[in-house]
Structure 1
Amino acid sequence: MIHKKLIVCLAFLIPVTVFAQVNYNQQFFNAKQLFREGKYNLAMEGFKPLIPYAANNQYSEYASFYYALAAHNQGYMAVAKDMFNQLKSLHPNWDKMDEVNFWLGKIYLDGKDYFQGLKILSSIKDKKMEKEINALKTKALMPITDIETLKMMREEYPKDEIIGKALVGALAKDMANKDSRTMLESMITQYNLKRSDYFPETPKTIYKDTYAVSVLLPFMVNTLDPTPGRKRNQIVLDFYEGMKLAADTLAKQNIKISLRAYDTDRSVEKIKTLLKTDELKNSDLLVGPFFPEENKPIQDFSLENKINVFNPFSNNSDVIGTNPYAFLYQPSIETMGKKSGEFMASHARKKNCIVFYGTSRRDSLLAATFVDKAREKGLKVLGSHRITKETLPKIVSTLATATEYDEYKYAKQFTLRKDSLGGVFVASDDALIYTKVLGAVDTRGDTVTVLGSEDWLEQTALELDKYSALPVAFIAPNISLPNNPHLAAFIRKFIKVHGRTPSLYSKMGYEFMLFTGNQLKKNGAYFQDGMNKEKAINGYLTQGFNYQFSRDNQLIPFIRFKNGGAVLVDKR
């Protein structure tokens, strides 16, 4: 690329007497023919002698233009941009300047220098080029998702419909934000757009005496042994036991649920066979699946038959895609990251933080969304570190590299000085990572806030009472606080029926069925519109739910441990 620029510069250093001998007509014709044949490199060489101005050279402007265009067609964007700008500078009154500005504007837009590109395109006077300009802007602007960037463009060009519609598209992807929804409604009216293209519309809701809830999970009945020991699919069995107990509770409240269990056997083919049955087509709510590979046929079935479906376990928003009938019972990874960024910005004593995350896609996305929101809320992110088994020591070296010791050889000062750090966000459930972080923070002994996941509490890497002594908070959408009277009643009931204490997944199943059962009773089979009208829905065992203009749970509680028990710190 630098070499090509040099060629252009050198052209101006060659004495004019050399060019006096050039047959300008023949030279231009030959170069133009090479250009037409797609031999752009040779064409550039042919146009080069015609670029400098001479009294008998009528092709200077055209040669400059085609030289730049040939460079563009070969991907030499910097060379093309420089030559187009030179052409504008040396020949500002050329009658083909609109063409120059079109290509220059394209180069800037393709390079994501949107404001410069729009400025140049706005200077084009030829109305016949409007269609091509609009196509160019549409291709460049529609993929933009940053709402603030598009708002700035709209302020500068308030009458530009393409910018407006690009903003509409970005707002539609931010429906959980009230301000975005309000602005979207206004712009849909302004541009006379079809509302259903942006606000998914479901059929008019249906109320019934009894609602059929079909559970598609790998119960693996044929492989279960009769012994009381823990089964491979114990999570699924516990969850369904909780659902059954909740259905019994709902029946006593005159909410009738016909709970139907279908064993998927962890087989996509088995699921496809089940989905062909009329019984499943008459469901009011589908629950499942458990494994990612089983998701597509269930989503396709839900969309085709207009049946709402809840995935009770996944945080991955890709699971529900664009299906307006699909929901996550859990908060999505993006929601957890954003709400965690807000929490840290509000609760960290110092306005800076460090992020550690694992190697999975989930961890990377969680960390990235946290970082974006934390920065938006005014936190300075000092570092975001991907941790592998090989780089595990980086946690201690970052947080707890000692520089001073007391008389007992205990660290009293560190490279990252005490009380200089506000928070540490750990976007991983890998015990190797979070125990290293907690150990390093414990060594520091300062006021840093560590934020992690409630899933840590289900692991045995640390005793629960250890968390009371550490400055750690948890993202806890499924937590049941010990002072909740409903929790004690549920535990008593579960023990009476099953002869053992309930697991976390039994509690989840119970809460899930109570939540969806009440939504069916209150808002009918298509409960979306009803949920859109409520910002917060009280939970029974948990802190509750928020599905307002969202298809994952937007309400996230944050807890700490004090005196061996969970205490609510905040919910967002």
Structure 2
Amino acid sequence: MFVGSSAFAQDIKSMFDEAKALLDRDQYALAMGRFKQITALDQDNDLVRYAGFYEAISAYHSGDAAMAQQLFTQLEEKYPNWLESANEINFWQAKIALESGELEAGLSHLASINDNNFKEEIEALKIEHIAKVNDRDQLKSLLKDHPDPIIASNLLTSLLSDNVMDRNFVLIDSLITTFKINPEANIDGVDFSPKKDVYNIGLFFPFQYGSDSISLVRMMNDWPVRFLQGMKLGLEKLAEENININLMTFDTKTSATTTRAILADPKLKELDLIVGPAYPGPIGEVVRFSKENKINFINPLSSNGEILIDNPFAFLYYPSNESLAISAAEYARKYLTKNKNVAIFYASEADKPRAQLYRKLIEKDTFNVVIEQMVRPNESAKIQQMLVEKIKVDKDSARRARMIAEMDSLLNAGVKKWEKYSGDDFLEEKLGIMPDSIGHIFIASDIPSLSASVISGIDAREDTIYYVGSSRWLSSEQSISFQQLERVEAVFTGSNWIDYDKASVTEFRERYLNKFSAVPRKEDRLGDAYIGYDIMVTYGRLLNQYGKYFQLGLKTVETVPGELTERFSYQLSNDNRYTPILRMVDSKVKKSNN
């Protein structure tokens, strides 16, 4: 009996070796037939189990993936305790499911594998097949059930492919934070970032050069010249750090035609960075030139995110309208929930995207926008009037009923002067905007007069209304005091806020005073020496560190330090998305977490 069993086992072993040899020679159909002969035997031993495993693999390689999947499933059902091959069977089932487009099933099989030896193969499978998913909603659904960095990374890449105006930055920030992803910068036609001994920077501004003395005096007092003075001081600072910049200036006036003529010079294709321009016509020409010639440019004044659309070489020095709206909305949704009624004011069509996005974001969180209104700067006092003016309204019905009953009583008693109340006696004065009817006001504009009007109106009321707006207007000569801002607990989204106690700011002021025998003046909407200096030193260092296409480096880091501005964040978009929340504390602007 023993001899017979031994001979039979040798026969199975011989059949198995023959089938395995056929498999190794890629003769899959023949191998599958031989393995099937073994699995048909009513026995439970390693050779039979492995024959079933290799039969499934032979079926897969012969092109019958459905049969292979069926055979692997039968193995699982027939040998539920075959632990030593469970991981490999799950891997093959995952591979077949993913290749068949059954992503949910494939990922579930991969999640069942508990052997680290499969880690590289699992990642390779995920990378290969998740990259094929173009449906953003499908990626979101997969990520919900399978919180995996590879799925998150592909979803992030999809989200970042949107124009900056349309990006879902709330979801983008969440993906980066949750899965610790570093976005990659991919620019068509740019494979590397060349480094140079000297970088060429062109300043395109409306200097309005003139030959007469009156024009010269006027030009020297204009903001473009003060901006240039700051840039020249920045050149000196960079030279001390052995960073060499060749600065060239171009007078665009306010003309697209003039700017186009300037850009027609072939030598300008050697520029490494353009700063400016200031007006829409020249901006349009520089946007076109920048994209066509792959030259970075930074607009130093605008928050208009449309400049960035479809142009990886365009940058904003300030946060875009969209970034400011997102930052403010995040704050409101966390901390201003006691009264969810909101008023929004903005100054022009250029501010409208900020107002509209803010509304869209907070309304998702059950806030109720009761007022959204454009108020021109020369009419900004209207906002204060809305907040403090009283109007005559009917007294409540019970009081009016009592007054009428009193007069009826006098009439019935025969009193001649029974009409003791006139029409105005039935009215009372109340605020046009009723107490506690608004929780906060968002100013979607950097125009100082709008914010000043709102804050003065809030300060005059007895109820609590919070102010939320950008900090950019604080740099101007203000009509309201820091004490008043502190009193109303004003909240600001930091827009390139400068801490004037910084050593680098003191150094800049000393340089300016020594060079020009004057104290630098900070503007609110226009350029000034502060901005010129900050841009020159900050971007000069970026060119030195990362090369001509410094965005390839910027996308790998969350923030970079500014020289005067605290920090810049260009990781997710080409505007400065570093917008800390600021509050007034002891008559100074300070960062706040609540």
TM-score, normalised relative to structure 2: 0.59
Note closer, same or farther for the CA distance 1:551–1:223 as it changes in structure 2 (3 Å cut): farther
- The separation in 1 between residues aligned to 2:370 and 2:388, in whole angstroms, is 11
Matching of residue 383 in structure 1 with residue 401 in structure 2:
no
Matching of residue 261 in structure 1 with residue 249 in structure 2:
yes
Aligned residue in 1 for 2:490: 472
For the residue of structure 1 that corresponds to 2:442, the secondary structure is strand
Aligned residue in 2 for 1:15: none
- The separation in 1 between residues aligned to 2:211 and 2:587, in whole angstroms, is 39
Aligned residue in 1 for 2:547: 524
Instruction: Give deviations 1:198-252, integer Å, cap 9, x for gaps.
Output: 8656331101111111111122222674699765982221211111111110110
Among candidates 557, 568, 581, match of residue 558 of structure 1 = 581
- The separation in 1 between residues aligned to 2:220 and 2:540, in whole angstroms, is 28
Q: Could you tell me whether the CA contact under 8 Å between 2:467 and 2:490 is conserved in 1?
A: yes
- The separation in 2 between residues aligned to 1:434 and 1:185, in whole angstroms, is 38
Aligned residue in 1 for 2:563: 540
For the residue of structure 1 that corresponds to 2:292, the secondary structure is helix
Aligned residue in 2 for 1:441: 458
Note closer, same or farther for the CA distance 1:353–1:542 as it changes in structure 2 (3 Å cut): farther
Q: Could you tell me whether the CA contact under 8 Å between 1:418 and 1:446 is conserved in 2?
A: yes
TM-score, normalised relative to structure 1: 0.61
For the residue of structure 1 that corresponds to 2:561, the secondary structure is coil
Percent identity of equivalent pairs: 26
Instruction: Give deviations 1:445-475, integer Å, cap 9, x for gaps.
Output: 3443201233433555614344343322333
Measured after TM superposition, the shift of residue 412 of structure 1 is 12
Matching of residue 172 in structure 1 with residue 166 in structure 2:
no
Aligned residue in 2 for 1:333: 321
Measured after TM superposition, the shift of residue 436 of structure 1 is 3.4
For the residue of structure 2 that corresponds to 1:368, the secondary structure is helix
Amino acid at match of 2:501: N
Matching of residue 450 in structure 1 with residue 467 in structure 2:
yes
For the residue of structure 1 that corresponds to 2:560, the secondary structure is coil
Note closer, same or farther for the CA distance 1:253–1:450 as it changes in structure 2 (3 Å cut): same
Note closer, same or farther for the CA distance 1:563–1:359 as it changes in structure 2 (3 Å cut): closer
- The separation in 2 between residues aligned to 1:289 and 1:485, in whole angstroms, is 30
Instruction: Give deviations 1:408-434, integer Å, cap 9, x for gaps.
Output: xxx999676656744211123455543
Q: Could you tell me whether the CA contact under 8 Å between 2:359 and 2:369 is conserved in 1?
A: no
Note closer, same or farther for the CA distance 1:205–1:167 as it changes in structure 2 (3 Å cut): closer
Among candidates 307, 321, 333, match of residue 319 of structure 1 = 307
For the residue of structure 2 that corresponds to 1:310, the secondary structure is strand
Aligned residue in 2 for 1:213: 201
Note closer, same or farther for the CA distance 1:401–1:534 as it changes in structure 2 (3 Å cut): farther
- The separation in 2 between residues aligned to 1:457 and 1:154, in whole angstroms, is 43
CA RMSD, 1 decimal: 4.1
- The separation in 1 between residues aligned to 2:540 and 2:439, in whole angstroms, is 42
Aligned residue in 1 for 2:222: 234
Stretches of structure 1 lacking an aligned partner (at least 5 in a row): 1-145, 157-164, 187-194, 405-410
Q: How does 1:81-480 map to 2 (within 5 A)?
A: 151=140, 172-173=161-162, 174=167, 177-179=172-174, 202-222=190-210, 225=213, 231=219, 234-348=222-336, 350-358=338-346, 360-376=348-364, 378=365, 380-388=367-375, 393=382, 396-397=385-386, 418=435, 421-430=438-447, 433-460=450-477, 462-465=479-482, 466-480=484-498
- The separation in 1 between residues aligned to 2:328 and 2:211, in whole angstroms, is 41
For the residue of structure 2 that corresponds to 1:444, the secondary structure is coil
Note closer, same or farther for the CA distance 1:155–1:395 as it changes in structure 2 (3 Å cut): same
Q: Could you tell me whether the CA contact under 8 Å between 1:478 and 1:508 is conserved in 2?
A: no
Amino acid at match of 1:381: N
Measured after TM superposition, the shift of residue 268 of structure 1 is 2.3
Measured after TM superposition, the shift of residue 506 of structure 1 is 1.0
Note closer, same or farther for the CA distance 1:486–1:546 as it changes in structure 2 (3 Å cut): same
Amino acid at match of 1:530: G
Amino acid at match of 1:386: Q
Measured after TM superposition, the shift of residue 570 of structure 1 is 5.0
- The separation in 2 between residues aligned to 1:230 and 1:478, in whole angstroms, is 29
Note closer, same or farther for the CA distance 1:293–1:321 as it changes in structure 2 (3 Å cut): same
Q: Could you tell me whether the CA contact under 8 Å between 1:206 and 1:526 is conserved in 2?
A: yes
Aligned residue in 2 for 1:138: none
- The separation in 2 between residues aligned to 1:462 and 1:379, in whole angstroms, is 35
Stretches of structure 2 lacking an aligned partner (at least 5 in a row): 1-134, 146-153, 394-427, 523-527
- The separation in 1 between residues aligned to 2:503 and 2:380, in whole angstroms, is 45
Among candidates 521, 531, 542, match of residue 508 of structure 1 = 531
Q: Could you tell me whether the CA contact under 8 Å between 2:227 and 2:530 is conserved in 1?
A: yes
Q: Is the deviation greater in 507-516 or in 224-233?
A: 224-233
Amino acid at match of 2:281: E
- The separation in 2 between residues aligned to 1:254 and 1:218, in whole angstroms, is 30
Q: Could you tell me whether the CA contact under 8 Å between 2:340 and 2:367 is conserved in 1?
A: yes
Measured after TM superposition, the shift of residue 320 of structure 1 is 2.9
Amino acid at match of 1:451: V
For the residue of structure 1 that corresponds to 2:250, the secondary structure is strand
Amino acid at match of 1:217: F
Measured after TM superposition, the shift of residue 500 of structure 1 is 1.0
Higher RCO, 1 or 2 (CA under 8 Å, sep at least 6)?
2
Work out the number of aligned pairs and report it: 406
Measured after TM superposition, the shift of residue 532 of structure 1 is 0.3
Note closer, same or farther for the CA distance 1:418–1:148 as it changes in structure 2 (3 Å cut): farther
- The separation in 2 between residues aligned to 1:271 and 1:501, in whole angstroms, is 32
Note closer, same or farther for the CA distance 1:242–1:415 as it changes in structure 2 (3 Å cut): same
Instruction: Give deviations 1:244-300, integer Å, cap 9, x for gaps.
Output: 111110110111111111222333232222222233111111112111111222222
